[in-house]
Amino acid sequence: MNRLLLSLVLLGVAGSALAQTPPADQTQAPSSYYPAPPPLNAPQVDKGPAISGLTSPLSEEQKAITKTRIDSDAEAQLFAGAAKVVWGRYAKIKGAKPGEVSVTRQGAVWAVKGRIDSVAPGSEGDWASINGVVESITANNVVIKGEVAFRVAKIDKGATCKVAGSLHFRRSGKSQVWRLIEGDNPCDGTQEMFDLVYDKPPAEKKPVPAAKKS
């Protein structure tokens, strides 16, 4: 009885396999390519412009300043006397004091470096600074390549916020103040009103001759 059942099962499996086998005329010859044979010709692509002789758009920005261009001797003479930093964010608070900045000449290049530490009540520990070299001096304008940094405790958890690159300082009319045009704080958008101020040196006191005794 068991042999009979086994034979019937085997016959059923064989019949199912035969039913799934396609007729001989529908079979495909095996191919050595998968999933398809390669094209006779590679697709054409645009080559674009030649890459030889290209320059980086950053190349001019990255070049070191080797000489400060001076187109206005009068402006240069005035800017050489810049000695104070005024920070507009705190300038109107009672007790605020200006910081110091120095304009020096290193060969043919002018350099600028300064800092202001706020001492206004409630702003202790906040500061602003400038460090760079002068690219050019023209009438009412000074361009400094470098960075200006602001540190305000209540902004971005006291992180240092910087503006950098070619920074433009502009003076108006008979003013002796150059204000940073790119003076918006990048962390909160506040206009910092960062100024470099000419400070007239004190007049040299000449010794007074002693009165002649009669």
In a domain, residue 150? The reply is: yes
When the pLDDT of each residue in the chain is averaged and rounded to a whole number, the result is 83
In a domain, residue 191? The reply is: yes
Q: pTM above 0.75?
A: no
| Separation between Cα atoms, residue 147 and residue 186, nearest integer Å | 12
In a domain, residue 82? The reply is: yes
Query: Cβ distance 123 to 93 under 8 Å?
Result: yes
Domain that holds residue 146: 63-198
Each residue of 89-137: pLDDT tens digit?
A: 999 999 899 999 999 999 999 999 999 999 988 899 999 999 999 999 9
Confidence label for 8 from pLDDT (cuts 50, 70 and 90): low
Residue carrying structure tokens 């010794």: 207
In a domain, residue 204? The reply is: no
Task: Output the CA angle 180-182-185, nearest 5 degrees.
Answer: 105
Rg (CA), the chain: 40
